[in-house]
Amino acid sequence: MKGPGASIEIKKQNRNHILKYILRSKTTSRQDIAAALGLSMPTILQNVKELQELGVVEESGRFESTGGRKANVITSISNAALSIGVEITKNHVRIVLIDLSENILFHKRFVLPYRNTNEYYSQLALMIQAFIGEHPIDTRKIAGVGISIPGIMTEDATVIADSHVLNIRNVSCKAISSLLPWKAYFVNDANAAALAELRNLPQNSTMVYLSLSNSVGGAIFINGDIYRGINQRSGEFGHMRIVHNGRPCYCGQLGCADAYCSALVLAPKEEKLEAFFDRLREGEEEKKAVWNEYMDHLAELIINIRMSFDCDIILGGYVGCYMEPWLQELQSKVAALDPFEQPGDVFLSASRFKQESSALGAAMIPMEEYMDRL
């Protein structure tokens, strides 16, 4: 027999599932919710009523009749809660503000070179608060701040264990969180970007997100849940060996994918990636040769991931933003390496978000916790 604690937990889970279904559906009815979630109508009626009392959903008219009584339209109240997302990179900071429906309301990008100093963290905290102060919002509705870091986090996400990009190890997140008036949540940047992509996929999706920025990384989602690995190092695809005794990698090994598939291969630090793709589209032979070699190595990396996980792969990061016109060509290159390839197999896609994916995914973390608390 289940105790009262278990019953309360089931009730909370049902309410959470119902709210998230309403958010995904944009507009729905009690009947549709019951059919989609397999819950009884009394359960739906009670939970929708409670969500209305909490101020997160409302009735907004009626659907057109299909022969019977018109069903009431149920929608979310998007401005019921807000969340801040921050992406820290080596040279910039990007900030977004999202609502309960996880729409980006405002966004801004700042030049702020990373330094592991009190001055940097103080400046970052002031930037975040100034960004919020620029907009007419009720700060009491802010659920928290999600902060994406280009590095490996500890299991409890309180320490940046290692970041090659930022050149730091074992840095406490309190250096930032202690300066903010809201609860802060920290997440790896690729994991955050993958969360943003996942919101547009069917529930409980399995997929790999491959981040192609100034370093190569990624994230793995299995049945909608992130797989972090025993040591929080899953998705380190940049250190898969794709060339025997190949180019040196920053990790000290030879032939790692990072040395062949990072954005720096296409546009070294003194060049801009956008300029590379402009010249590639213009047909410049030198850029075409670099791109063809890059695509061959990227196909080698992708087939290794495909053989390991047998799922869809989303290409993100700096390079992923530009990949759409070359997806079919890349898919063909990967298919030529795939011993199990079937006609019509399409498993590659480019990121839906061109700039704000990590900041958006980071903002989703405090928003998800807010919904779980309801």
Residue among 190, 200, 299 at smallest CA distance from 234 = 190
pLDDT tens track of the chain, all 374 residues? 455 667 778 888 999 999 999 999 999 999 999 999 999 999 999 999 999 999 999 998 888 766 667 789 999 999 999 999 999 999 999 999 999 999 999 999 999 999 999 999 999 999 999 999 999 999 999 999 999 999 999 999 999 999 999 999 999 999 999 999 999 999 999 999 999 999 888 888 999 999 999 999 999 999 999 999 999 999 999 999 999 999 999 999 999 999 999 999 999 876 899 999 999 999 999 999 999 999 999 999 999 999 999 999 999 999 999 999 999 999 999 999 999 988 778 899 999 887 789 999 999 999 999 999 88
| Nearest-10 crossing angle of helices 30-37, 41-53 | 120
Q: Which residues contact 120 (CB under 8 A, 6 or more apart)?
A: 112, 114
CA distance 137 to 160: 31
pLDDT at residue 66, rounded to an integer: 65
Q: What is the pLDDT of residue 65?
A: 64
Residue 303: per-residue pLDDT:
98
**Calpha distance 251→322 (Å, rounded):** 27
- Record the pTM: 0.90
- Residue 205: the pLDDT is 92
Contact between 109 and 97 under an 8 Å Cβ cutoff? The reply is no
Tell me which amino acid residue 199 is.
Answer: R
Domain annotation for the chain: domains and CATH numbers = 4-76 (1.10.10.10), 82-195+357-372 (3.30.420.40), 203-350 (3.30.420.40)
Backbone φ/ψ region at 29: left (φ over 0), alpha (ψ -120 to 50), beta: beta
Q: Give, as one character, the DSSP assignment of residue 180.
A: -
Contact by Cβ (8 Å): 11, 334: no
Provide the H-helix boundaries in the chain: 4-25, 30-37, 41-53, 118-133, 174-177, 189-198, 258-261, 263-266, 273-281, 285-309, 317-320, 327-337, 357-373
Note the pLDDT of residue 266: 97
CA-CA distance, 138 to 257, in Å (whole number)?
46
Tally the residues of the chain.
374
Buried b (16+ CB within 10 A) or exposed e, 356-368: bbbbbbbbbbbbb
